[in-house]
């Protein structure tokens, strides 16, 4: 897929989100619905010029958790106090799943 400037960006990480469980799982909010899971880019790393952050700075998120990550809806109850914990956990869970699926490899890391 090409962007407006004609650059080509591979999509395997984005496609890998299809049918996956949400890795964010915000207590009291997550729908645990694999049909709504997409790759959600995380807000704590600055975006590239004119675009989003790297697909490696992302996680698998259901529609409810994704809306919180994007700031469309607020964090429920006291869960916002744990925002960074949720986002880091989700990113690591997503990396593990991507390694298991063979989408990414980590040199020197354990491969299933």
Q: Is there a catalytic annotation at residue 110?
A: no
Q: Which of 8, 15, 32, 41 is catalytic?
A: 41
Q: Reply yes or no on whether the pLDDT at 47 is more than 80.
A: no
Residue 107: what pLDDT? 85
Is the Cβ–Cβ distance between 37 and 61 less than 8 Å?
yes
Would the CA dihedral through 83, 13, 101, 64 be positive or negative?
A: positive
What domains, with CATH codes, occur in the chain?
Answer: 12-100 (3.30.50.20)
Concatenated DSSP letters of 51-85: S---TTSEEEE-HHHHHHHTTSSPPPGGGGGGHHH
Instruction: Specify the 3-state DSSP secondary structure of 21.
Output: coil
Lowest mean pLDDT among 44-48, 63-67, 90-94: 44-48
In this prediction the pTM is 0.82
What are the pLDDT digits (tens) for 70-82? 999 999 999 889 9
Residue 112 has pLDDT above 90, yes or no: no
What SS3 state is found at 26?
coil
């Amino acid at each position: 897929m090409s962007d407006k400037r004609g650059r080509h960006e591979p999509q395997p990480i984005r496609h890998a989100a299809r049918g996956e469980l949400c890795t964010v799982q915000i207590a009291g909010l997550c729908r645990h619905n694999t049909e709504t899971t997409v790759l959600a880019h995380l807000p704590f790393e600055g975006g590239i010029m004119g675009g989003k952050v790297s697909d490696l700075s992302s996680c698998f998120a259901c529609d409810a958790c994704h809306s919180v990550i994007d700031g469309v809806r607020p964090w429920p109850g006291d869960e916002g106090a744990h925002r960074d914990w949720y986002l880091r956990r989700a990113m690591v869970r997503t990396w593990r799943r991507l390694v298991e699926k063979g989408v990414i490899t980590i040199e020197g890391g354990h491969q299933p």
